[in-house]
Structure 1
Amino acid sequence: MLNSRVTTSLLQQPTSAAIRRAFISNSPSYSFSSLVRPGPLRFSTPSTSLIRHCSSDSHSSSSNPNLPKANPSSDKSTWRAMAEKDISRYLRQTHDRVFEHNRAWAAEKKKADPAFFANLSAGQTPEYLWIGCSDSRIPAEQITGLEPGDAFVHRNIANLVCNTDLNVMAVINYAVRHLKVKHIVVCGHYGCGGVKAAMTAKDLGILNPWLRNIRDVYRLHEKELDAIKDEESRYNRLVELNVIEQCKNVVKTAGVQQSYAENSFPIVHGWVFGFNDGLLRDLQIDFEGMLKDIQKIYNLTES
């Protein structure tokens, strides 16, 4: 089948193992999870010498020993102790560092393939639409080994697909109708701070209506989740169920239904990223079965 063949060719997809994160419903706060980098990538961080060579700023972060080694904002006492001029310098240097790395990246790409940017500017024909979490430590291209132009990417808190969110609806429509993507991947991750926050008995302000979508997932699967006594397993099962429900929301869109009826693509996949080993788990979504199940109520193919 196209589903399993392409998924296997992209990555090794081990089946879901024992889940290792905790569902803490009374947690007073939340934070996005940490990432374990999964093996060597096609492009590594440029060397210091290359950064210095490409940088025209003599006060760059790579050559200035006064730049803090760690992010001072992660330590409030360190940040408060910094003089105003040091804060200003830190902010300027962390800004400039991005451009240093960009110049180094561009130089390395051009050296490896002189036609790289000419090909990149010619247009995009991505195979994948990636709908993932906004967590800064889970970049779609890096954890999959994909190159620029391979994936059309949309990210939001807890990888939600809401039919009232014009942003994600526009992305799906454009990816399916215009880019003709062959695969739509909804990718969640164990230890998701958005999922954890949704199950916290706390007023989170503007986040409340967004995270209520996850509370609804819990409500739909309350019996299954409440039967799981281990909090860690329960929380991570909610992460998986959230991915599955978002896949259903993708399938309910007119563009996906009509394109599949006409072209036999795109296929919808549900994946979860594991922090402890850096691997993706394929939840083995039965796309055709899911499509059949929703036809009675959500059929938008005019057939």
Structure 2
Amino acid sequence: MATYEQLFENNRKWVAEKVATDKDFLAKLASDQEPDYLYIGCSDSRVPANEIMGLEPGEVFVHRNIANLVANIDLNVMSVINYAVANLHVKHIIVCGHYNCGGVKAAMTPKDMGILNPWLRNIRDVYRLHEDELDGIKDEHEKYNRLVELNVVEQCRNVIKTAVVQKSYAENGYPVVHGWVFDLKTGLLKDLNIDFEAVLKQIQKIYNLTGSH
């Protein structure tokens, strides 16, 4: 584990390595960002957004919170989505969870979590929506992992419910929303293959915010 002082030395080494392989690296870093991707992931320290996708700084706009939630009353995530779509014009929005997520496990622990209670309730609501399927899984480990996947799916739905995403897609054909899960044991990403257009059509029966009928 690096000491606090080592972080600055690591930073200097990082700059030197980047400049050695690309003399224009710092100029590119200082230029305006034009990422194609918005990544909404978990705050877990083992899941670095850029690295797992092999992307460089400037290529992905990142928002992270406990258990990669997209709560409609969370002004932080809503502001990030709005800025990414309306100002950065991202082409893809990725919600990425990970197996063995501590937030998901905490949500299913029957005890008072203090200030985390209202946050984790969002995950408990996902369980409630998929109660029959989850209760049919006898292995607790597999049940939690399936809840991780279902939580990603529901957060993708929450992204699609936003007006800025619906309007941009109607006008421009982007962004498209994707759901992924990162496997800590293999280091690989799993695409949940969400049918964006089908989900959009389904939810617009109730959540149509484009102004059209």
Q: What TM-score, normalized to structure 1?
A: 0.69
1:148 aligns to what?
57
Find the partner of 2:6 among 73, 92, 97. 97
Compute the displacement of 1:195 (Å).
0.2
Compute the displacement of 1:110 (Å).
1.1
- The 3-state SS of whatever aligns with 1:186 is strand
Residue-by-residue CA offset, 1:241-292 (whole Å, 9 max, x unaligned): 0000000000000000000001110010000001111100000001000000
Compute the displacement of 1:212 (Å).
0.3
The one-letter amino acid of 2:209's match is: L
Find the partner of 2:172 among 250, 263, 266. 263
Find the partner of 2:44 among 110, 135, 155. 135
Residue-by-residue CA offset, 1:53-101 (whole Å, 9 max, x unaligned): xxxxxxxxxxxxxxxxxx5xxxxxxxxxxxxxxxxxxxxx822111000
Alpha-carbon distance in 2 for matches of 1:296, 1:154: 28
- Runs of 5+ consecutive residues of structure 1 not aligned to the other structure: 1-70, 72-92
1:118 aligns to what?
27
Find the partner of 1:186 among 88, 95, 114. 95
Alpha-carbon distance in 1 for matches of 2:65, 2:173: 28
Q: Mean alpha-carbon deviation: is it higher for 262-271 or for 229-238?
A: 229-238
Find the partner of 1:211 among 104, 120, 123. 120
Residue-by-residue CA offset, 1:134-191 (whole Å, 9 max, x unaligned): 0011000111110000000000000000000000000000000000000000000000
Alpha-carbon distance in 2 for matches of 1:119, 1:238: 40
The one-letter amino acid of 1:280's match is: L
Alpha-carbon distance in 2 for matches of 1:295, 1:132: 25
- Runs of 5+ consecutive residues of structure 2 not aligned to the other structure: none
Find the partner of 1:282 among 191, 197, 211. 191
Alpha-carbon distance in 2 for matches of 1:192, 1:122: 35
In the alignment, structure 1 residue 291 sits paired with structure 2 residue 200: yes
Alpha-carbon distance in 2 for matches of 1:136, 1:275: 11
The one-letter amino acid of 1:281's match is: K
- Superposition map of 1:148-187 within 5 A: 148-187=57-96
- The 3-state SS of whatever aligns with 2:70 is coil
Compute the displacement of 1:113 (Å).
1.1
Alpha-carbon distance in 1 for matches of 2:121, 2:34: 35
Alpha-carbon distance in 1 for matches of 2:130, 2:147: 9
- The 3-state SS of whatever aligns with 1:206 is helix
- Name the larger-Rg structure: 1
Alpha-carbon distance in 2 for matches of 1:125, 1:271: 22
1:199 aligns to what?
108
1:227 aligns to what?
136
1:61 aligns to what?
none
- Superposition map of 1:46-85 within 5 A: none
Q: Mean alpha-carbon deviation: is it higher for 227-236 or for 136-145?
A: 227-236
Compute the displacement of 1:234 (Å).
1.2
Greater fraction of residues in strand: 2
Alpha-carbon distance in 2 for matches of 1:119, 1:273: 29
Q: Which has the higher contact order (CA 8 A, sep 6+)?
A: 1
The one-letter amino acid of 1:200's match is: T
The one-letter amino acid of 1:131's match is: I
- The 3-state SS of whatever aligns with 2:184 is coil
- The 3-state SS of whatever aligns with 1:135 is coil
Alpha-carbon distance in 1 for matches of 2:24, 2:144: 47
1:74 aligns to what?
none
